[in-house]
Structure formats: C-alpha cells, structure tokens
Structure 1
Amino acid sequence: MAEKKKILIRIGSLRHGGAEKVLINFLKNLPEDKYDVDLLINLYTGMYIQEVPSWVKLHYLLKGEMITTNRPHEIPVKAFRVLYQKMFLLFPSLLYRFILKNKKYDVEIAAIHGMYRELLSSPQKDSKKIIWIQNDIFNLKEYTPEIIKQFFRFDKILVISNKLKEEMQKLAKTDKEKQSVIKIFNPIDKEDTIRKADIPINDYPFSKNLPTFITIGTVYPQKGYDRLLDVHKKLLKEGLQHQIIIIGDGFDFENIQTKLNQLELQETVKMLGFRSNPYPYLKESDFYVMSSRHEGFPTIIAEALILNKPVVSTDVSGIKDLLQNGKLGIITSNSEDGIYEGMKKFLTDKELAKKYEMEITATDLPFVLQKSVSHLQEIIDTV
C-alpha cells in the first residue's frame, strides 16, 4: 500500500459561498484511502461544517459566528480575531507547532485566493504549494499586478475560467510560470442539484401565467440587481409582460428593495431573501438571468444548465466557458442595454428557449463533479 499523500487545505470559514461549496464537493469525492487531509479554517463557523467528511481532520484558529456589522460590543471581538490571525501570519511556526502539531505535509493548498500570504509564509519549504483562484481577482482593487505576481511562487495556480488563465499568463515571466497556470472547472454535483430541485415548495411567489426570470446570489452591487430592475421596468413599459424572482440576502438588500418600491414593481418582482435550497424555485422558473458586473465562476449558471434552464447573462468571467461561447445561452454585453436586449430576445421569440433547451440536453457538460474531481486529483498527484 503506497503511503497516503499528506495534504493541508486552508480556507477562511465554511459559510455559504461558492468557494466553500466547491471545496466541500471536492472533499466529499476524494478517495479516503489515497489522501490524509487536514483542513484548517480561520473561523469555525458556517453551514458547510457538518458536511466535512469524517475522515478529514478539521482544525480551526477561532470559534464563533462571522461578524459582518460594527456594533460597539462586537468591535473588541473583531479586533481580537484580527490580531490573533495576524499573529499566526507573522509567526507561522507557532501555527504549525501548536495547531497542526508539527505534522509534515506533501502538498499545501489555499482553497481561496485570499489565503495566498498564509501559504507562502508556511515554514514547510519542501511542501508543494497550490492556490485555487475562484474569483476574478483582476477586478478586485486590492489585487494589484505586483500582488498577483507573487502567486507565481506557488507550484500550481488553479483558475476557473479561460479569461483568468489568459490574464495570469500575461503576467508570467517564464514558460515555467506560464505552465503553472491550469484551468479547472469547479465541480458541480449534478445528482445533488437535481435531487434538491425536486423538493416541493409552497411559497413560489408567482402563478404560471407569465414568463418568469429568476436570479440567485448575494445582494451586492456587483450583482447588478439595480440594472435588472431598470431593464424590467423598461420591458414592461413596452408591453412585454414578465416577472422576476431574486433570491439572496446581502448588504445591498435594503437599497434594492427601496429601488423596487420607487419603481413600483412590487407586483412583478419578488425578493425572497436567502434560501438554503434555491433549486426548486429555479426549476419552477422559465429563464435564468444574470445581471452581474463581475463574477469569478458563476456556479449557479452551471446549476441552471443542469436543470435545463435557458440563460441570459452579461459577459463576465467564466460565462463564455460555461455557455460555450453562446451555444448554450445568450451572452450579452456587460451593460444595461445588453441585459435589456438579451431578456427581450426570450420574451419576443417563443422558440428561442426551446432551441437552447435542446442544445443543453445534447451537451456533455464538462463541470460535472466526477470530471472535475479526477482532474484535480491528477494535479495533486503530479505536482
């Protein structure tokens, strides 16, 4: 029996988020007899904690709920957490000694781009280092080209779209650096998605008499829900009747709700807040609309395709890969006009949705779980 590869994986927490879900999907499908995995999270919190496979050793720096507000009594706790985590960043040997009990690793993986400093400061110089970039870091202000160039100190850089791969390779200085960038599809559990979509719900907000668009995601400005409401209003004025469901919560929720009320769209747009299982709503709707200003790899689009939904999306990172350059759905320019044109196509051409549904059914989707997991294993085994 070959000795198991010892792997350390690091992520901030296991709250509901794309990268967190991807990591859990991946861990659940790794062969236990091949790997000895330690998962280190900064904050022991989140809905995915209970989904970590029992054979994975879970370590954490701190316990408690994520604090997203600034109430006076929370500030000391926040400050303590920041300092405590900073201490381990400054003195990583303490972390490896006291929390990881001096275990030696073959491979260390940052499961999210924000962990790059933690991994590059690892006292274990011989371990192979992998970083998994699940976001369009070229759209994040704090990631300057200087910072991104540090990522080439990793042995492998996994990216989730061709666009990210091209951008990274432009910054590479050598062929070796260029080749360290590998595109990998985020694993999506097809059976799980279909099973969850079949769970009955009794609070679907609309009757079936009008075409219904759904969009799912945290309510942040980057999601472009403000643009979506303006487009919706414009289409209604032209007599193109339809409805929209928005699922998700976030700090922009109140703003979008206020805008919705100002535009008097209460009858045709429903904001349902967070749903731990949004798939039955997706299944019941006619189209998926993505109005985002930017994305990393919009997993939800892959899930919409698994459920055979026609998609209209702005041209954000990952979309050309997912919709196969427009073969599986409408890709619009990243603007209000683009969203308007795309939605209008579905509302005026009744046959278009059927055409996309047939294309989706006939396509072997590359992000299905087994394919992604075996690709990732191959990278870990050969790094």
Structure 2
Amino acid sequence: MKKKILIRIGSLRHGGAEKVLVTFLKNLSPDKYEIDLLLNLYSGKYLKDVPSWINIYYLNKGEMITTNRPQDIPEKVFRVIYQTILKKFPKLLYKFILPQKIYDIEFAAIHGMADEILNSPIKSSKKIVWIHNDLSNIPEYTNERLKSFFEFDRILVISEKINQLFLDLAISENEKKKVVRIYNPIDVEEIKRLAKRPCDLPKIENELTFVSIGTVFPQKGFDRLLRAHRRLLDKGFKHQVWIVGDGYDFPNIKKLVDELQINDTAHLIGFKENPYPYFIKSDYYILSSRYEGYPTVLFEAMTLAKPIIATDVSGVREMLNDGELGHIIENSEEAIYDGLKYFIQHPEEAKKYQQNIEAKALPFELSNAVNSIEKYLND
C-alpha cells in the first residue's frame, strides 16, 4: 500500500533547499508513494522538474513580490492576509485546498514550514522536518523556539554543526534519537553532463576568474566579496568576479557594483537554470557567506574539481575536511580580501586543492543520500 505524504515548501524558486527537494522527488518511486506537494506560492524555475505523478497544490499563484510599488501592494496584502488565515485555521486549508486525505506523513521541506506542519489537524500522521540552515545564527530562533522542533517525529539535519545544536538542546534520549544527520542528494552525473554545455560569458585572457553562485540575499555576503574585489583592483591585482544568481537583494548588489565602479570586472549574471558551465569557465569558486546550513554548492564545485575559498560558516569544515579540500578563511570581509589575494598570488596552492579533490571519494552519491532519507519515510 502506498504511503500518502504531504510535503510543504514556500515555492520552487532558485534556492539550494528547493533544488535538493526536487532532486529527491525525481528519485522516488510512484509505486511506493502518493505525494502531494503544497506550495505557498506557485512559482519557480524548478516547477517543471517536479515529476508528473506528484500532485501540486498552492495557496497563491504568481511571482514573488519583492518591491513596494503601489500597483503591487494590493496583491501583496491579499497574499499575506490569505496565507495568515489559512495558517491560523488549518482545517480550512485541509478542507478546501487539499483533497481531504488522511496523510501518513507530513513533511516540512524547510524549517520555515515547521509551524504549518505541527499545526496540522491530522494528528495521526508522522511529522518530519528537514533543516538546511544553521538556525543558531538567526536571532528569532531562540533556544525555546528551537526546542519546539522536538515536537516532530524526525528532525533531518544536513550538517554536523546543526546536528550538534539539536543534540545539545535535547533533554532526553528520546529527543536525541529524533535528530538524524543526512546528506543532501547531489546528482553528480547530471552536473558533469550539464557542465559541458557552452558558457555565454567569455573569460578575460590572463585574468583569474572567481565565481560565486547562490540566491542574492544578504546572507551570501556578495557585498563583502565585491568590496574585497574593489580593494584588490586598487592594489593592482587584476581579476574577475562572476556572481550567478538572483534574489530580493539583487538591486542593492547591482547598485553597489555601480558605486564601486567595477562594472567591467564584476559581472552579475542573474539566475541560470544551468550554472555549471560558469564553474568550468572560471578558475576558482568563492563562498563569501555570512552564515549557511550546509552549502551544497561546495559539493557541486568539488564535483567539477574547482579550487575553493570559503568563509568558516556551518558545514564548511565538515565538507572541506578541515581545509584539505579547500582554503577556509575567517568569516569577515578582510579575510575574503586575503583569500582572493592568496589564490591570485599562489596559483600552485590552488592546484594542490584541486588535486586533493580529484583524489578523494566524495560522500554525497545520489542513491545513498536518497536511500537515507527514504529510510525515515518508511520507518
């Protein structure tokens, strides 16, 4: 008999958690599961990648509204009120939006959906949350709020640091058993295949290129990267910076590029459905984040044997094997400056990291990761 599963996520835009969820769904069997995917907002580049056998439901349709233009405000207000009502009165949601099923499992695919799953009127379902971020870095997640996650039957976490955070908060052996460390599924063969496609941005000859890929949020530290880039140019270190991604902070980052007068050397490429040719075309990968949960993009960089510089945020030491597989720097703008400068001045050191990556068996093979998550669906 198929398990009936409800999965909730905000949308399927271009974040890491969204991509990981779709990769996971593509590797599940319709013979074993009956899955309803509920989106707060029916939008996103990954919608087309959801397998056809999965039922998609949504609260609102259309793109995310990130501005306060007068013409957008009525729709923005309506969405907030409508979603707030459904969150406060979940029985309305389960009666009128969903097909009135009794689910075996209800799954919050990101931590932001935790309350919605815990407030489900279906009390018999097993409840699972998938945590992709180090919540200790987010002010509103106090210890008391973090402890509320123990109301779930399983807490899936993607890094050892997040795992330890919850183990330290657990007050019983039963709570500790709820916390499960898993790897995000990465489709290595697909990444290698997509990376072979043409790159539409020419590389400047005799100038090293650093690429960074991610949703353009303040969390990603692209502002710090660009200021460090400007300082290096002022010191005579010629190089290029490519930022691949989009997000609500994109206009601010574009404004910063203009203010720093780096339009010729810093390229804001926007969202690309296939970012992997930019990995191949560049010389180095730079992670400038202020905080992360477990930056899956580093595994993608390693899949393509790209030398890495990364700020010392959650997951990085674990992923880069304490610096064996990449250059780990302090979490500051000054350290980003020093890291870029180090690779520019010491390309032979970057080559050593590349050789270490190529010699290493990487731990995120697709079937193993999918199987580890399925284990907790079937348990």
TM band (smaller chain): over 0.9
Q: Which amino acid aligns with 2:27?
A: N
Q: Aligned partners of 2:268, 2:120: CA distance in 1, in Å?
A: 44
- Structure 2: give runs of 5+ residues left out of the alignment: none
Question: What corresponds to 2:314 in structure 1?
Answer: 317
Q: Aligned partners of 2:67, 2:226: CA distance in 1, in Å?
A: 27
Q: How does 1:122-133 map to 2 (within 5 A)?
A: 122-133=120-131
Question: What corresponds to 2:373 in structure 1?
Answer: 376
2:224 pairs with 223, 227, 238, which one? 227
**Per-residue deviation, 1:45:** 1.6
Q: Which amino acid aligns with 2:271?
A: F
Question: What corresponds to 1:218 in structure 2?
Answer: 215
128-137 or 227-236, which deviates more: 227-236
Question: What corresponds to 1:279 in structure 2?
Answer: 276
Per-residue deviation, residues 189-237 of structure 1 (Å, max 9, x unmatched): 1122112211113333x32312211111233322222222332233344
**Per-residue deviation, 1:351:** 1.9
Per-residue deviation, residues 359-383 of structure 1 (Å, max 9, x unmatched): 111222112322210110112111x
1:207 pairs with 193, 204, 207, which one? 204
Q: How does 1:176-325 map to 2 (within 5 A)?
A: 176-204=174-202, 206-325=203-322
Q: Which amino acid aligns with 1:103?
A: K
| Structure 2 CA distance for partners of 1:38 and 1:141, relative to 1, 3 Å | same
Q: Which amino acid aligns with 1:301?
A: L
Q: How many residues align?
A: 379
Q: Aligned partners of 1:33, 1:262: CA distance in 2, in Å?
A: 56
1:327 pairs with 293, 315, 324, which one? 324
Per-residue deviation, residues 31-82 of structure 1 (Å, max 9, x unmatched): 2211111111122222222211111122222222222222223222222222
| Structure 2 CA distance for partners of 1:152 and 1:256, relative to 1, 3 Å | same
Contact kept, 8 Å, 2:209 with 2:240, in 1: the verdict is yes
Q: Aligned partners of 2:344, 2:53: CA distance in 1, in Å?
A: 50
Q: Aligned partners of 2:64, 2:177: CA distance in 1, in Å?
A: 37
Question: What corresponds to 1:147 in structure 2?
Answer: 145
Report the secondary structure of 1:86's partner residue: helix
Q: Aligned partners of 1:71, 1:233: CA distance in 2, in Å?
A: 32
Per-residue deviation, residues 134-188 of structure 1 (Å, max 9, x unmatched): 1222222222222211111001111111111111222211121122111112111
Report the secondary structure of 2:267's partner residue: strand
Q: Does 2:357 align with 1:360?
A: yes
Contact kept, 8 Å, 2:127 with 2:152, in 1: the verdict is yes
Q: Aligned partners of 1:260, 1:304: CA distance in 2, in Å?
A: 25
Question: What corresponds to 1:165 in structure 2?
Answer: 163
Contact kept, 8 Å, 2:45 with 2:273, in 1: the verdict is no
Question: What corresponds to 1:69 in structure 2?
Answer: 67
Report the secondary structure of 1:270's partner residue: strand
**Per-residue deviation, 1:238:** 4.2
Q: Which amino acid aligns with 1:16?
A: H
The percentage of aligned residue pairs carrying the same residue is: 54
Question: What corresponds to 1:138 in structure 2?
Answer: 136
Contact kept, 8 Å, 2:320 with 2:326, in 1: the verdict is yes
255-264 or 33-42, which deviates more: 255-264
Contact kept, 8 Å, 2:15 with 2:215, in 1: the verdict is no
- Structure 1: give runs of 5+ residues left out of the alignment: none
**Per-residue deviation, 1:314:** 0.2
**Per-residue deviation, 1:86:** 2.1
| Structure 2 CA distance for partners of 1:285 and 1:186, relative to 1, 3 Å | same
2:108 pairs with 107, 110, 127, which one? 110
Q: Which amino acid aligns with 2:221?
A: G
Q: Aligned partners of 2:187, 2:24: CA distance in 1, in Å?
A: 10
Q: CA RMSD for the aligned pairs?
A: 1.8
140-149 or 278-287, which deviates more: 140-149
Q: Aligned partners of 2:264, 2:137: CA distance in 1, in Å?
A: 35
Report the secondary structure of 2:71's partner residue: helix
Q: Which amino acid aligns with 1:14?
A: L
TM superposition score normalised by structure 2 = 0.94
Q: Aligned partners of 1:365, 1:257: CA distance in 2, in Å?
A: 36
Report the secondary structure of 2:101's partner residue: coil
